[in-house]
Amino acid sequence: MVPAHGGRTAEPVYRPVLPGRRGELEALGHLDRATAALLAPIIELSTVDTSVVDALRRLPEGLLPAVDVSLLPEGVAGAVAGWGVPVVPVIGPDCGHRALLAHGATARAYARRAVVRLRTGQVRAGPDATTAAVERIWRLTGLVPEQCDLLVDAGDVCCAADVRQAEPRIRRLLDWARRHAWRSVTVAAGGMPPTLSRLPTDEPVRLPRWDWLLWQRLAELGVGYGDYGVGSAVPGAEPSGDRLPTVPYTGDGEWWVHRWARRGGRGDERFADLCRELVSAPYWPATGAAFSWGDHELLRRARRGAGAGSPANWTAWSTSHHLAYVLGTLAGPERDETPGPWRTGRDADRGRPARRITPSR
């Protein structure tokens, strides 16, 4: 895992947008303290119960998540400040008056910060209208631009055409963003298809990370990187609809999706076979199980040291590897520390030839 740079407080270099589900929260909970300081996750909550709040409380020291409650009833925003969990509110331009007041209370109770999330598909009224929308946010929350991280969210980008359409929209929003003194600016997108059930089984299938490609085309602007982890940006999408053992494994500008349907033996043996294929692949990291908690758990299954687990476990292990891989790319020794309009880590995607499958959407 990536250590914090010595001699100064680590700044987040990666803002993944993750659903507030068991698998993703478990992966975050296994980050070490140094790595946690480089990560600023945005957790989308579709439900709130004691298990979710408890999982947020158990996150490692140094990890300050932002929570997006826009999918929940408006009254929930007012309850966040009372959870007793240090969080950053996520605010959209369509938030109601009461919700904005509640988000301001949450920001004052903890970090005195907020994330302003602008979705490119919803921001079409022009720069002056966008300015009016964010000025309303600042006025009702009591925040100023320097206390706000801007997230420009391109949503679902699952093919080359999506990237071509998203890029000019994002560039226009970034041109507008330069009018204001944001604390940081991040571009996020999700490249995973909404379903993997149409992919071949019993062989690794390569899928391009279109979100990573999109960010590379914008990285010269000095923006930060965000994605949707190993999940889809399509609301309500599930990684696999048929509950076959499924592990999307992040590589250099790609995912290697393993879906295993081989019959015979117990279910545990099927998943062990998947893991044996994975740990013998050329994209398995040289450090093996030491690369991340998720890689350690996958290697245990390859050696039949534990059971197959559940879909939530598979998501947790895949997410753990993904977070470590992205952070290793963005915050590794080659990180560009040259100050720009917004600090960011940069790396070139070298790519490699392989079978490329873009499933129908």
Residue 106 has pLDDT above 60, yes or no: yes
Residue 241 has pLDDT above 90, yes or no: no
Given this model, what pLDDT does residue 357 score? 36
Q: What percent of the chain has pLDDT over 70?
A: 86
Residues 250-292: pLDDT tens digits? 999 999 999 998 765 566 888 999 999 999 999 999 999 999 9
Phi/psi at 340 (nearest 5 deg)? -135, -165
Find out whether 204 and 259 touch, Cβ atoms under 8 Å: no
What residue segments make up the domains of the chain, in order of their start? 17-237+322-330
C-alpha span between 31 and 29 (Å, rounded): 6
Average pLDDT of 231-246? 79
Q: Please state the pTM of the whole predicted model.
A: 0.88
Residues 55-73: pLDDT tens digits? 999 999 989 999 999 988 8
Q: How far is CA 338 from CA 187, 219, 221, 312, in A?
A: 19, 13, 12, 39
Given this model, what pLDDT does residue 75 score? 76
C-alpha span between 6 and 307 (Å, rounded): 39
What architecture (CATH level 2) is domain 17-237+322-330?
Answer: Alpha-Beta Barrel (3.20)
Given this model, what pLDDT does residue 185 score? 97
C-alpha span between 230 and 154 (Å, rounded): 16
Dihedral over Cα of 326, 177, 172, 64: its sign: positive
